[in-house]
């Protein structure tokens, strides 16, 4: 009965186990109006795919056009900072609809093709090796702090063409940008520090690349500015977006995937018999089973009927990857972690015209991390059975993941 | 003579990103399910078709020479 479903999406039990709550929503009331946050929950796989492929009905320009306040709430004294965040986020290409979205995405799209991302595999392998060398000396690590957090920044900083002695600074900025997905009342201060820091740091780099373009992606974005597709602010914000989007989500893939392996010792044993051969299907299953992103927001552009409900123009809508990827209508034994599952048409990267630009890079990073862990630390085990997650309905983010191999 | 092409879009893989349609609109069009179909393999240059295939984010597009069977992409 839908009456049994409570509405607090930030309740500790929902944050701890979104699969139970959103699974019940999917079974009992799949297109559900959530009164507490004034938004629609879309939870069935089929509905998610339909919705994301009908981008003309569901606008991505959320920060620009949704006047409702931040949630979870923030300090009242930080409302000015939230306006700064809204204006900043609104310039991201993912916060645009067609035709602008297509024009902006095309500037960057060919930088991220499967073939060009594959060329980064050796760099990713080397970065993982160096991080694991450091960890090995210590005999244990926090996968979050020591591997998952630094790795994507090393890769993206290299793509940005950041000078080696400035990487530490970029990493500090990247870690401040992560506050976008957190729930603390006072999160606006570090977040806006990270955003302003990016603007100041990247702008001179854009000037340089306009004069002397290279093969890095700041040069790609600078070319978009030269061609009149991006304003300078948009170049800076989208550089920042690539740093953030490639960071939080990859952290979650690595941590949630490692946790899934270690909680399913049979699958971990199986993986170790052939890490090379199983890395691809195993990474897809990690993406499906405990997806890095829980849900994404849209705004209805007009009244839309879904499963007998009327979604009104301007209504807020959230589509739940975490629910769709466990939909029994699409996946046999959806709650089972099976690293040989294939085909595995999960929607961890979304679908339609906004399908994740960095999907191939994320896959390469996930595959190489899981392979390296299996090969170097076959006796990997969890140090604790207690896990805490960030209070977010966007990201499925652990706070820490300590492991040992003694 | 332009080559006679056979183009296949794997609908188990296609996510409807529509970049192929943006690059080679006379060849690739979205169907009712919003997935790509190669409607007219001869309507764009081979170069454009290969660019569209390479830019597919999920590598769902396969191109071959229909006469010789030679695989042109991937």
b or e along A256-275 (b: 16 or more beta carbons within 10 Å of the residue's beta carbon)? bbbbbbbebeebbebbbeeb
B17 to A114: CB separation less than 8 angstroms, yes or no: no
Q: What is the ipTM of this complex?
A: 0.95
Report DSSP state, residue A358: T
A352 to B57: CB separation less than 8 angstroms, yes or no: no
A53 to B58: CB separation less than 8 angstroms, yes or no: no
DSSP chain B: ----EEEEE-TTT-----HHHHHSTTTEEE-TTS-EEE--TTSS-HHHHHHHHHT-TT--EEEEETTT--EEE-
CATH class as words, domain A2-404: mainly alpha
Structure tokens of A315? Answer: 């209504």
Mean pLDDT of A395-404: 96
Pick from B13, B17, B56: which is nearest to A353 by CB? B17
Taking only the tens place, the pLDDT of each residue in A48-81 is 999 999 999 999 999 999 888 887 888 888 899 9
pLDDT at B12: 94
pLDDT-flagged residues of chain B (< 50): none
CATH of the domain at B23: 3.30.70.20
**Chain B partners within 8 Å of A346 (Cβ):** none
Q: List all residues 6 or more positions away from B73 whose beta carbon is below 8 Å from its beta carbon.
A: B50, B53, B54, B61, B62, B63
Pick from A52, A110, A345: which is nearest to B55 by CB? A110
Range A170-178 contact pairs with CB under 8 angstroms and sequence separation of 24 or more: A170/A201, A170/A243, A172/A197, A173/A197, A173/A198, A173/A201, A173/A243, A174/A243, A174/A244, A174/A247, A175/A149, A177/A240, A177/A243, A177/A244, A177/A247, A178/A244, A178/A247, A178/A248
B58 touches chain A (CB under 8 A): yes
Mean pLDDT of A360-375: 98
pLDDT at A81: 93
Pick from B16, B22, B58: which is nearest to A102 by CB? B22
Residue-averaged pLDDT of chain A: 94
pLDDT at A158 over 90: yes
Domain with B50 in it: 5-73
**Chain A partners within 8 Å of B24 (Cβ):** none
**Chain B partners within 8 Å of A352 (Cβ):** 15-18, 34
pLDDT at A18: 98
């Amino acid at each position: 009965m839908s009456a049994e479903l409570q509405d607090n999406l930030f309740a500790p039990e929902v944050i701890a186990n979104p699969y139970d709550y959103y699974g019940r929503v999917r079974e009992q009331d799949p297109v559900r109006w959530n009164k507490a946050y004034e938004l629609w929950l879309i939870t069935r796989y089929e509905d998610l795919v339909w919705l994301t492929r009908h981008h003309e009905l569901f606008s991505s320009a959320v920060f620009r056009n949704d006047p409702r306040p931040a949630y979870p709430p923030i300090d009242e004294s930080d409302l000015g900072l939230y306006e700064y965040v809204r204006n900043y986020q609104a310039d991201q290409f993912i916060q645009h609809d067609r035709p602008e979205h297509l024009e902006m995405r095309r500037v960057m799209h060919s930088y991220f093709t499967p073939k060009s991302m594959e060329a980064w595999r050796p760099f990713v392998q080397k970065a993982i090796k160096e991080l694991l060398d450091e960890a090995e000396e210590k005999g244990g690590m926090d996968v979050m702090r020591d591997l998952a957090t630094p790795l994507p920044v090393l890769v993206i900083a290299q793509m940005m063409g950041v000078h080696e002695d400035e990487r530490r600074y970029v990493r500090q900025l990247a870690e401040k940008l992560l506050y976008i997905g957190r729930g603390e009342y006072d999160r606006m201060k570090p977040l806006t520090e990270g955003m302003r820091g990016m603007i100041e740091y990247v702008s001179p780099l854009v000037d340089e690349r306009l004069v002397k373009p290279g093969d890095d992606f700041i040069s790609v974005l600078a070319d978009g500015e030269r061609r009149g597709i991006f304003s300078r602010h948009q170049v800076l914000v989208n550089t920042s977006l690539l740093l953030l989007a490639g960071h939080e989500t990859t952290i979650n893939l690595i941590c949630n995937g490692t946790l899934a392996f270690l909680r399913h010792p049979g699958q971990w044993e199986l993986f170790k018999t052939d890490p090379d051969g199983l890395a691809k299907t195993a990474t897809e299953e990690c993406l499906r089973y405990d997806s890095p992103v829980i849900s994404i927001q849209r705004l209805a552009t007009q009244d839309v009927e879904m499963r007998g409900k009327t979604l009104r123009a301007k209504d807020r809508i959230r589509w739940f990857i975490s629910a769709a990827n466990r939909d029994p209508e699409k996946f046999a034994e959806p709650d089972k972690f099976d690293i040989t599952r294939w085909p595995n048409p999960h929607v961890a990267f979304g679908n339609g015209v906004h399908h994740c630009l960095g999907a191939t890079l994320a896959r390469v990073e996930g595959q190489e991390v899981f392979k390296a862990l299996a090969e170097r630390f076959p006796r990997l085990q969890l140090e604790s059975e207690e896990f805490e997650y960030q209070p977010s309905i966007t990201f499925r983010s652990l706070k820490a993941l300590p492991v040992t191999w003694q | 003579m332009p080559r006679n092409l056979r183009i296949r879009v794997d609908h188990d893989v296609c996510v409807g990103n529509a970049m192929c349609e943006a690059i080679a609109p006379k060849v690739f069009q979205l169907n009712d399910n919003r997935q790509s179909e190669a409607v007219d393999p001869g309507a764009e240059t081979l170069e454009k078709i290969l660019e569209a295939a390479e830019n597919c984010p999920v590598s769902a597009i396969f191109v071959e020479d229909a006469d010789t069977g030679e695989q042109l992409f991937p």
